[in-house]
Amino acid sequence: MTTLHNSKEAPTSDTPDISPRQFCCAHGIVDTCILDRDSSRRRFLQTTIGGTLAALATAAGVEFATPHPVLAQSKLSPSAALQELMDGNRRFTSGHLTSCEQDLAILKQNTIEKQEPFAAVLSCADSRVPVELAFDQSIGHIFVTRVAGNVVTPEIIASLEYGAAVLGTKVILVMGHGSCGAVKATLQGKEVPGQISALYPHIQPAVDQAGPNLEAATKANAKIQSALLRQASTVISGLVKEGKLKVVAAYYDIASGAATLLD
């Protein structure tokens, strides 16, 4: 079985020959990925394996699965895990994605039996917040929970506790976003069909705190939900106290694609 190559490993003879077609992209941006592949591969060759190996590899016509900095996911510190997310977001906003260069077949194969996501994200369900894409991550890297308004419920706590205590996520990002319909609806407090208004009580404290400005209320909500997560879960608060986990609030600008930390 082939494995994704670690940046510290030299290429071996069983390095898979990955054609551009196999550099399939999970995010429907294959053109960008293939266009960007050569420059990324050059960077990789220059920075990780040195001139001699690069020359040998080039001479042999060997293609690599692009190494990913979080292969040893469970060994990242909470700060490093957060940094990896923010670095990924910078790659996303600058249009230099690297996650799409990873071989999805290999990533799938390596995660059949286990998963070791380095980070968890509690996001709104909004379709304009593509979590993995926004942080330039791929299969097995982020444990994502989503609910409209990114509110903390017992089920969300249970999921994030599982992510942290069992799977070893090192950071939980609670992320609100621009133009959030759930926060807007809570601000307006209008009659809505079905059970949509069940979200209101979760978001109302942020509206009470921040007032009628949508962005301010959305940011307040992310911070309140983040604090609630730290307080309501003994598992999460325990890991935070031990320095094994960070819980951070963030705001995602849907126009620029930039995530900003709020804490």
Q: Among 51-59, 138-146, 179-187, 194-202, which window interacts with Zn ion (CB under 5 A)?
A: 179-187
CB closer to Zn ion out of 85 and 124 = 124
The partner residues of 248 in beta bridges, in order of sequence, read 173
The least distance separating Zn ion from the CB of residue 36, rounded to whole angstroms, comes to: 30
The least distance separating Zn ion from the CB of residue 205, rounded to whole angstroms, comes to: 16
CB closer to Zn ion out of 76 and 175 = 175
- 10 Å Cβ neighbour count for 43? 13
Distance of CA 195 to the CA centre of its chain: 29
Q: Among 25-33, 72-80, 160-168, 172-180, which window interacts with Zn ion (CB under 5 A)?
A: 172-180
CB closer to Zn ion out of 76 and 217 = 217
Q: Among 151-159, 178-186, 192-200, 205-213, which window interacts with Zn ion (CB under 5 A)?
A: 178-186
Burial class (CB in 10 A: 0-12, 13-18, 19+), 105: middle
Q: Does 63 bind Zn ion (CB under 5 A)?
A: no
Cα–Cα distance between 259 and 239 in angstroms, integer? 24
The least distance separating Zn ion from the CB of residue 177, rounded to whole angstroms, comes to: 6
The least distance separating Zn ion from the CB of residue 257, rounded to whole angstroms, comes to: 15
From the CA atom positions of the chain, what is the Rg in Å?
20
Q: Please identify which residue in the block is written with the tokens 């996650």.
A: 99
| CA torsion, ordered 217, 221, 223, 229, to nearest 10 deg | 170
Q: Does 245 bind Zn ion (CB under 5 A)?
A: no
The partner residues of 252 in beta bridges, in order of sequence, read 177, 259
CB closer to Zn ion out of 102 and 123 = 123
Please list, in sequence order, all residues whose beta carbon lies within 8 angstroms of the beta carbon of residue 69, skipping any fewer than 6 positions away: 7, 84
Cα–Cα distance between 97 and 31 in angstroms, integer? 12
Measured over all CA atoms, what is the biggest interatomic distance in the chain, rounded to whole angstroms? 68
Q: How many residues bind Zn ion (CB under 5 A)?
A: 4
- The residue from 180, 206, 240, 248 that contacts Zn ion (CB under 5 A) is 180
For residue 124, report the phi and psi dihedrals to the nearest 5 degrees: -70, 160
- The residue from 86, 124, 142, 239 that contacts Zn ion (CB under 5 A) is 124
Give the pair of three-digit tokens for residue 83.
Answer: 């940094």
The least distance separating Zn ion from the CB of residue 236, rounded to whole angstroms, comes to: 23
Q: Among 35-43, 47-55, 181-189, 206-214, which window interacts with Zn ion (CB under 5 A)?
A: 181-189
In sequence order, what E strands does 90-228 have?
119-123, 142-146, 171-177
Q: Among 6-14, 112-120, 167-175, 182-190, which window interacts with Zn ion (CB under 5 A)?
A: 182-190
CB closer to Zn ion out of 36 and 126 = 126
Q: Does 126 bind Zn ion (CB under 5 A)?
A: yes
Where on the chain is the footprint of Zn ion (CB under 5 A)? 124, 126, 180, 182
